[in-house]
Structure 1
Amino acid sequence: MPKRARQAGNAVTILDVARHAGVSPMTASRVINDNPNVGEAMRERVLASVKTLGYRPNLAGRSLRTSSTARIGVLYSNPSAAYLNQFMLGILEQSSLSGSQVLIEKCSGIRSQRAATQRLLDAGVDGVILPPPLCDSAQTLQELDERQIPTIAVATGAPQEGVGSVRIDDYQGARAMTRYLLDLGHRDIGFIKGDPKHTPSALRAAAFFDTMAEAGIQVPAEHVAQGMFTYRSGLAAAAELLKRKRRPTAIFSSNDDMAAATMAVAHGMGLRVPEELTVVGFDDTPVATTVWPELTTIHQPVTAMGRTAVTLMLEEIRRNRSGRPKAQVHQVMKYTLVKRQSSAPPAR
């Protein structure tokens, strides 16, 4: 059955266009913003949806203008598609409401970061939002600072002077999860670390070890494995933990992708979750409710963080255009421990 346009009177957003065309919000944004890095077939599909839905940018935020609409750059290299999609939903929702334009660039290594940053600068962006892990890239932050480009770092564990930020308290979130596992009765708890280049990884790990120590429990080295926030790294880390002679009764993974991988390894070994192994994660990305059983995790309001990042960025752009100093707002948002079916007391 063909998808129908919204009824008159309901504002059509870029997210509606993306859903109608069957593409990601980022692809829809690239087409609408006339980015050349989109295939012709994909471009035609999105433009057809724009025409069918009658999409028009929301111009309520035009008061931001001095000489042109605010152009916000987003530079990303996040390996978690689930996290990135949630984040971009917030970015695109808020930018549509404000009438601002979003330019998106992907990068990987240092050389790629420089090139992607330069493309944004050449395109005349008024500010740049950096989701993880680029929120902690000293090279990118320094380059943007030298160009006097307002910058918002999202989900950094180490907010810096001169750079606004949006984050949760990763340390307290990980403490809450560790306490929850201890309250269930678990003592042999395994832990999968995240990418060491991303500052929240260290905070989550520190919270786990500190909370275990407060409970009088020394975590053996064989109960700790290194991951990189990717599903593939989670497979290797979980296999390392679960093949030990002394297997943990619960595994706390530093993000949901690695937790999902842990459950896959457990299922492959014939271990029942949560009857024989409790698995918990962090972030509450869509994968948390698509795996079986559904994942107990720390909810990080990723979409709301994207919206907030745009709001803070627009204020920084206003201040920059009027010659006022940076506001340097550091917004800490609330986390929530979400209990689902992947956690239970240890088997007796």
Structure 2
Amino acid sequence: MKERARRSRSPTIIDVAAQAGVSPMTVSRVINGRASVDPTTRASVQDAIDALGYTPNLAARSLVTSTELKIGVIYANPSAAFMSDFLTGVFEEASIRGARLILLKGEDGRPPSPAALENLVASGISGMICAPPLSESAAVLDVLRKARVPVAAVGAHDVDNVICVRIDDRLAAYEMTRELIAMGHHRLGFVVGNPDQVASLKRLDGFYAAVREHPGVRATIAQGDFSFASGLAAGDQLLQADPPPTAIFASNDDMAAAVVSVAHRRQLDVPRELTVVGFDDTTAAVMLWPPLTTVHQPVRRLAAEALGLLVAEIATPPRTPAKRADRVLDHEIVKRQSTSPPQDDATP
């Protein structure tokens, strides 16, 4: 049975790389006779090829011999507005650097299959950039670490051997909550983002940090997942409270827009009867009435910075797994027409 299982799948370039302890690109250089490979490394790769019985696929071989810079982009974000800004930043930076992008999307918000990831790696990519929530997905990162592919992750916090580019989510949420309290709001609602993302927990922590500084403030929490649909459910839940919040802070603009929609359906005037604020400052923030006050997260710059750092890592000899790097960009609060002081003092 074990022999049959071994024969059910031919070894791949990723298997050879894992066996030899090198990257798939190093294996491709050995296969194609490149002189840039250290003799000891070359011998290790050849031993792995012999041990596994690996035979290069001619079609795949033609791909990995290319000298162009090829970057894989993995995403499965439910926010179309966020992904629009993210991909714009990646494409603009790739154009400047002459990099070719290969996109891989996870279906229904889930990570791509391990087989899809392995096929992408085997195509000869130089590195990978991940959009949230996949930037912290163990299923994705484990495959890429095994393949020794350099990785840059946007919006990720403290991920080993990965270039992380983000803002200070906790501080941003803290500052926005302080703004609401200074405006006179003492009954606050908060819509939490995807519970599997560290950024969601950081934003919730920042919200609570501001609330704890003001004992007279009452906070009500509803769970979302960064999608518009989850914002609708969370908005309904928060506005059914007795008494309801006078201000709701949603962890992204899509959910904040959904809260505004719920308020309109309940015939509540925004902002006179309900203040609503968001996070990200995507196009969703300005495509509804009233336009949202929100935390500006420079998504395009985050994506471009991640790609730039990834390219620098790839260009640094010798080729090793991506060094741990964190880059934190500035955020700001953008004030629009979705906020106002409460009609009363909102004291509990």
TM over 0.5: yes
The corresponding residue for 2:172 is: 173
Find the residue that maps to 1:73 and give its secondary structure.
strand
Query: What is the CA–CA distance in structure 2 between the aligned matches of 1:195 and 1:326, rounded to whole Å?
Result: 27
Find the residue that maps to 1:282 and give its secondary structure.
strand
1:281 maps to 2:271? no
The normalised TM-score by structure 1 is 0.77
C-alpha displacement of 1:113: 3.4
Query: What is the CA–CA distance in structure 1 between the aligned matches of 2:326 and 2:113, rounded to whole Å?
Result: 24
The corresponding residue for 2:240 is: 243
C-alpha displacement of 1:326: 3.8
C-alpha displacement of 1:218: 5.8
C-alpha displacement of 1:219: 3.8
- Aligned CA distance change for structure 1 residues 231 and 238 (closer, same or farther; 3 Å): same
Contact 1:192–1:253 under 8 Å retained in 2:
yes
Contact 2:76–2:111 under 8 Å retained in 1:
no
Find the residue that maps to 1:105 and give its secondary structure.
strand
Find the residue that maps to 1:103 and give its secondary structure.
strand
Q: Structure 2: which amino acid aligns with 1:282?
A: F
Query: What is the CA–CA distance in structure 2 between the aligned matches of 1:111 and 1:181, rounded to whole Å?
Result: 36
C-alpha displacement of 1:208: 0.7
C-alpha displacement of 1:69: 1.2
- Give the 5 Å matches for 1:1-348: 68-108=67-107, 112-156=112-156, 158-217=157-216, 219-220=218-219, 223-319=220-316, 322-323=318-319, 326-348=322-344
C-alpha displacement of 1:123: 1.8
The corresponding residue for 1:57 is: none
Q: Which has the larger radius of gyration?
A: 2
Query: What is the CA–CA distance in structure 1 between the aligned matches of 2:148 and 2:216, rounded to whole Å?
Result: 48
Q: Structure 2: which amino acid aligns with 1:347?
A: Q
C-alpha displacement of 1:324: 5.7
C-alpha displacement of 1:110: 6.3
Query: What is the CA–CA distance in structure 2 between the aligned matches of 1:102 and 1:165, rounded to whole Å?
Result: 19
Spell out, residue by residue over 1:283-334, the C-alpha distance to the aligned partner (whole angstroms, 9 max, x if none).
Answer: 0010101110000000000011111111011011112x54367443211000
Find the residue that maps to 1:271 and give its secondary structure.
coil
Q: Structure 1: which amino acid aligns with 2:118?
A: Q
Query: What is the CA–CA distance in structure 1 between the aligned matches of 2:282 and 2:301, rounded to whole Å?
Result: 13
Q: Structure 1: which amino acid aligns with 2:327?
A: Q
Q: Which runs of 5+ in 2 are unaligned?
A: 1-64
C-alpha displacement of 1:132: 0.2
Identity over aligned residues, as a percent? Answer: 42
Contact 1:159–1:165 under 8 Å retained in 2:
yes
C-alpha displacement of 1:67: 6.2
Find the residue that maps to 2:340 and give its secondary structure.
coil
Root mean square deviation of aligned Cα: 1.7
- Aligned CA distance change for structure 1 residues 264 and 148 (closer, same or farther; 3 Å): same
Contact 2:104–2:112 under 8 Å retained in 1:
no
C-alpha displacement of 1:244: 2.1
**Residues 107-116 or 97-106, more deviating:** 107-116
The normalised TM-score by structure 2 is 0.77
Query: What is the CA–CA distance in structure 2 between the aligned matches of 1:78 and 1:346, rounded to whole Å?
Result: 34
Spell out, residue by residue over 1:105-158, the C-alpha distance to the aligned partner (whole angstroms, 9 max, x if none).
Answer: 0114767332331231132111111110001111211211111100011101x2
Find the residue that maps to 1:287 and give its secondary structure.
helix
C-alpha displacement of 1:71: 0.5
**Residues 111-120 or 121-130, more deviating:** 111-120
Contact 1:106–1:116 under 8 Å retained in 2:
no
Query: What is the CA–CA distance in structure 2 between the aligned matches of 1:197 and 1:170, rounded to whole Å?
Result: 15
How many positions carry a matched residue from both structures?
279
- Aligned CA distance change for structure 1 residues 281 and 111 (closer, same or farther; 3 Å): closer
Query: What is the CA–CA distance in structure 2 between the aligned matches of 1:100 and 1:159, rounded to whole Å?
Result: 27
Query: What is the CA–CA distance in structure 2 between the aligned matches of 1:191 and 1:133, rounded to whole Å?
Result: 20
Q: Structure 2: which amino acid aligns with 1:224?
A: I
Contact 1:284–1:298 under 8 Å retained in 2:
yes
C-alpha displacement of 1:269: 0.6
Find the residue that maps to 2:196 and give its secondary structure.
coil
Spell out, residue by residue over 1:27-48, the C-alpha distance to the aligned partner (whole angstroms, 9 max, x if none).
Answer: xxxxxxxxxxxxxxxxxxxxxx
